Structure 1
Amino acid sequence: MHTHESDAHRLMEQWIDKYGHTFKYTSFFGTNKLVTTDTKALSHILSHPVAYEKSKAIRSNLGELLGKGLLFVEGAEHKQQRKIMSPAFGTTQIQQFTEIFMQKANELRNIWMSEVARTSRKDGRLQLDAFAWLNKVTLDIIGLAGFDYDFRTLYAADGKPDELNEAVRTMFSFNTIKISFLLQFLFPLARMIPTERSREVAKSLRVIRRVGTKMIADKKAAVLHNASGSVEKKDVEGRDLLSLLIKSNMATDIPDSARMNDEEILSQVPTFLVAGHETTSTGVAWALFALAGHPAAQNTLRAELLEYPTDQPTMEQLNSLSYLDAVVREVMRIHAPVGSTERVAVQDDVIPLDNEFTDRNGVKRKEIRVAEGDIITIPIFAINRSTELWGEDAHQFKPERWVNLPEAVRNIPSIWSNTLSFLSGSHACIGYRFSITEMKALLFAIVRFFEFELAVEPEDIVRRTNVVGRPFIDSNIEAGSQLPLLIRPVKG
């Protein structure tokens, strides 16, 4: 029997029901951790990034996988990198990227149509692994939008796999959590012992660094070639994320001391791949899972999409589709990419609370003192699914709830949609607009043209996390991440 991530989240919810909004528990090897779902406490923690940083264990593993990019750095380094990167993720840029999103989404649709025509069963249905296809299309999208690099993953069977494509696939593939991984996570010294997995990751990182270094050099040359005299933020022709980042970093209004060096820019390459690939592919997969289990919601969404006169909508047009918007919000609430996160106090502090608690001496308090080094767990799933905040139906997939939200959810610190799915404050996900718009584009193309249902029992789909939470088949965990669907084209 496998241990499911959902079991851990249910246990956390049971603890919250039993012990209240704020409590401490003992984790591995006697480590004390503070858990809080108190919205006032969460607002305080997430709005004070100087006082509360990612834990060393999380940063170490992120650093080994991604380098010292935006997801790794803290303090002044984070502020510097985010300031330079922010223009690349603005509304204007996402509007331009939407053309790429829809182009690739429609290519995926066409491939599925061809597969149905070629190999479908007598009833006209085709079984396919939707997650594998979503991984391909989102990698193609981040290749073009992120680096102006054509992975052609959707057409990988046509020829030799691209080396960068293979490197990314290796880095973010996993089947089961192995003892060696757990030892490396818990004991920093264990990371010095090479494993088969660590050697594969190191080899993949060398490929990403080599290809990334060349891309950066080429894009720098393009910036300087197109600039006349000094570099301005409007000079570079390339509109991909990396070109926009390099242009912003070389702009004359950035002092030399605040610029990112080549190593820091290079570290954003795997960071972009995670933010623009893993988050969206899993998000759309969980959306298809939810819609497959709720045919009425699937039909309502399809009816809205079929009324639209074009298969190449703009960002504004995608955002005008109210039920599509509600579906995406509900999916990201129930199936947040990351189920929980941690912060470590880097100084003594007093955290204010909305809800008082009773300490071990029986004294009621509305604040809690933390000492330097204390670890705080932020249970994202528990907050996103809290019946106290969202109502008794909080665990149900119900897009209609977004028409009239409970007042209590407005207290959740959030950069988007009153949920913690993209966190809040200066460390909130910088690419949330990119991810949400890409999700809408893919769902537009898929749901508009296909009816679908699960090819296995819904109880057999479980969630496991490697960077983000992916779907697995419980009875076949060893096969890796997958979401088997039965699809058929919409009639008429």
Structure 2
Amino acid sequence: MSPILASIAAVFLAYLLHSWLKRPSVKHVKGPPSPSFWLGHERLLRNQENFGDLEMKWCKDYGSVYRIGGCFGQDILVVSDPKALDHIMHISRPYPKSKDFTFIVGLIIGRGLIVVDAETHHRQRKILNPAFSPAQLKDSQLIFRQCSDKLVNALKGSLTGDNNETVNILTWTTKVTLDIIGLAGFRYDFGSLEGHNTELRQALSELFTHSQTDTTAFEFMLVALIRLLPNSALKILKLISTRETRQFANLGEVSRRAARKIMVSQYEVEEQGEDKAVVDLLARARLTGKMDEDEIESQLVTLVVAGHETTGTTVAWMLYELSVHPEHQSIIREELKQFKDYDSMPFMNAAIKETLRLHPIVHSLTRTAPHDDVIPLSGGKTLAVPKGQTFICAMYAYNRLPSVWGDDAEEWNPARFLKKDLPVSLGVYANLMSFGAGARACIGWRFAIMEFQTIIARLIQNFEFSLPEGGIELQQFPGTPAVVPVVKGKVHLGAQIPLRVKVLHQ
């Protein structure tokens, strides 16, 4: 064994023994028996064929708070209980993100809003908030419409033959969302709908392709070391790289290099200017010294990664569900005939909410207890947890809880959102956890909803969507950092949602 590895092993074992002797136990919390001391359930969860199968089975077997095994015998609490989630994500005292999350995601996006905590997060969010105000979003609506119309024309132009072709609709929806975030946020045209394949777009595509890469046992244990070791010992781990961390670091460098090119062309901005697009706010923050160059590049990469692939994939999932339920396409077209504004279309908005509920792209968030705490649970119970306890906030499972959504919680039913009697209030939108909750909720959720409304309305108005001949079975591949839609038996082909598309002649 090399001296470096021997040092890591010695530090880790000493720290682990000390921690186990001191910390209170959560072993009384029920959960599935751990299959391995070294890997726990972590590799099992990552290697499941369809994300959510194990999580929902365990939630039914053990309840909305249960314990699973992490690497090196660590206990991890998986939480979908709404009261517990509200406590963990509470706006005034949110639990911080786990160290392994910030380390791994930080390789891709640097010191961006998703990664930083405490005062740094507050400062960055305060700088960026004006870009997502109602007034600024109203100004962005024209870009949403222009890009959506360009999508319609490009999709029509790609169809040949019998005008009822099968296409990977995911390719088109992620193209339009990349162009929208580029123009609305940075006044930069990626040209994705025109066939341009920039370095940044290639990097983002590789990010979600690499999320399907098999992770080795060593890589799982290395991530667990990040989670378990004190900050003072993490520098040692930086001396070791794995295939996955090298991939993420390379993607991060490519993304930041592309971000530099975009920002250089946008630095001609007045310090006291009135423009409030993201690029203006970042350029102004640079002039006033509120953000350094590295932070600015990190924000650009963060907003593109968070606001591009996630929204594009969710739009594609909605088109899939509307293909399974074609009568719902007809309802939306009828609403469009009476169109005043998108918020006046109750069924379309209910279908958007139902898509976000059933198909959250980011399936969970990891959090760490900052101190010994007592967590309130539904039904009046409580759970004592020690400082440093790792939680998986299971947004996917919460979004499917029968106690919240009814007995048909695992079925597509937009009508549930036409009612006004949901039993809990959680998250920033429609009682869903899809955008997170509390002070660290997605800063661009309103942007995403308005973008979603515009794209769906224009597509449903111009096309009829249906399943390919013989049907398809989609699965949610449990990648990192998000679930990836794949066709069952064709995972090797990567992310896809194939649908038949027919032009509607108006």
- The answer, yes or no, to whether TM exceeds 0.5 is yes
2:440 to 427, 438, 442: 427
Cα separation, 2, equivalents of 1:139 and 1:156: 12
1:416 to 397, 410, 429: 429
Q: Is the 8 A contact 2:86 2:426 kept in 1?
A: yes
TM-score, normalised by the number of residues in structure 1: 0.84
Q: Is the 8 A contact 2:215 2:244 kept in 1?
A: no
Cα separation, 2, equivalents of 1:200 and 1:383: 32
Structure 1 stretch displaced more, 456-465 or 284-293 = 456-465
Q: Is the 8 A contact 1:135 1:278 kept in 2?
A: yes
Is the partner of 1:127 in helix, strand or coil? Answer: strand
The Cα shift of 1:153 comes to 1.1
Structure 1 stretch displaced more, 373-382 or 205-214 = 205-214
Matching residue of 1:451? 464
Q: Is the 8 A contact 2:376 2:382 kept in 1?
A: yes
* Runs of 5+ consecutive residues of structure 2 not aligned to the other structure: 1-44, 227-235
Cα separation, 2, equivalents of 1:21 and 1:392: 15
Q: Is the 8 A contact 2:350 2:415 kept in 1?
A: yes
Matching residue of 1:313? none
- Work out whether 1:241 is the aligned partner of 2:278: yes
- Residue type matched to 2:192 in 1? T
Q: How many corresponding residue pairs? A: 451
Matching residue of 2:295? 264
1:52-451 matches, cutoff 5 A: 52-116=95-159, 119-121=160-162, 124-156=163-195, 161-174=197-210, 176-180=212-216, 182=220, 185-188=223-226, 192-194=239-241, 198-199=245-246, 201-220=248-267, 222-224=268-270, 231-232=271-272, 235-237=273-275, 240-247=277-284, 259-308=290-339, 317-356=341-380, 366-408=381-423, 411-451=424-464
The Cα shift of 1:223 comes to 2.0
- Residue type matched to 1:325 in 2? N
TM-score, normalised by the number of residues in structure 2: 0.82
The Cα shift of 1:136 comes to 1.4
- Work out whether 1:478 is the aligned partner of 2:486: no
Is the partner of 1:126 in helix, strand or coil? Answer: strand
Cα separation, 1, equivalents of 2:176 and 2:435: 22
User: Structure 1 residues 62 and 50, CA, compared in 2 at 3 Å: closer, same or farther?
Assistant: farther
Q: Is the 8 A contact 1:286 1:331 kept in 2?
A: yes
- Residue type matched to 2:502 in 1? R
User: Structure 1 residues 373 and 48, CA, compared in 2 at 3 Å: closer, same or farther?
Assistant: farther
Cα separation, 2, equivalents of 1:240 and 1:407: 35
Question: Deviation per CA, 1:70-103, whole angstroms, max 9, x where unpaired?
Answer: 0000111111111111111111111111111111
Is the partner of 1:142 in helix, strand or coil? Answer: helix
- Residue type matched to 1:169 in 2? S
Q: Is the 8 A contact 1:49 1:75 kept in 2?
A: no
Is the partner of 1:466 in helix, strand or coil? Answer: coil
Is the partner of 2:502 in helix, strand or coil? Answer: strand
The Cα shift of 1:163 comes to 2.9
User: Structure 1 residues 107 and 307, CA, compared in 2 at 3 Å: closer, same or farther?
Assistant: same
Cα separation, 2, equivalents of 1:444 and 1:351: 42
Is the partner of 2:486 in helix, strand or coil? Answer: strand
Aligned-residue CA RMSD in angstroms? 2.7
Question: Deviation per CA, 1:39-97, whole angstroms, max 9, x where unpaired?
Answer: 22221111167561111111111101111100000111111111111111111111111
Cα separation, 2, equivalents of 1:262 and 1:412: 39
Question: Deviation per CA, 1:191-243, whole angstroms, max 9, x where unpaired?
Answer: 755566655544443343334234434433x223xxxxxx43xx145x53221
Q: Is the 8 A contact 1:51 1:347 kept in 2?
A: no
Q: Is the 8 A contact 1:142 1:277 kept in 2?
A: yes
Q: Is the 8 A contact 1:49 1:427 kept in 2?
A: no
- Residue type matched to 1:179 in 2? T
The Cα shift of 1:371 comes to 0.9
User: Structure 1 residues 199 and 303, CA, compared in 2 at 3 Å: closer, same or farther?
Assistant: same
Q: Is the 8 A contact 2:259 2:297 kept in 1?
A: yes
Q: Is the 8 A contact 1:85 1:248 kept in 2?
A: no
Q: Is the 8 A contact 1:21 1:355 kept in 2?
A: no
Cα separation, 2, equivalents of 1:391 and 1:296: 23
Q: Is the 8 A contact 2:51 2:478 kept in 1?
A: no
Cα separation, 2, equivalents of 1:402 and 1:29: 43
Matching residue of 1:360? none
* Runs of 5+ consecutive residues of structure 1 not aligned to the other structure: 225-230, 309-315, 357-365
Cα separation, 1, equivalents of 2:251 and 2:404: 43
Cα separation, 2, equivalents of 1:325 and 1:445: 14
Cα separation, 2, equivalents of 1:441 and 1:382: 28
Is the partner of 2:284 in helix, strand or coil? Answer: helix
Q: Is the 8 A contact 1:88 1:245 kept in 2?
A: no
User: Structure 1 residues 77 and 304, CA, compared in 2 at 3 Å: closer, same or farther?
Assistant: same
Q: Is the 8 A contact 2:50 2:478 kept in 1?
A: no
The Cα shift of 1:26 comes to 2.4
1:4-23 matches, cutoff 5 A: 7-23=50-66
Question: Deviation per CA, 1:452-477, whole angstroms, max 9, x where unpaired?
Answer: 11226342444443333221112111
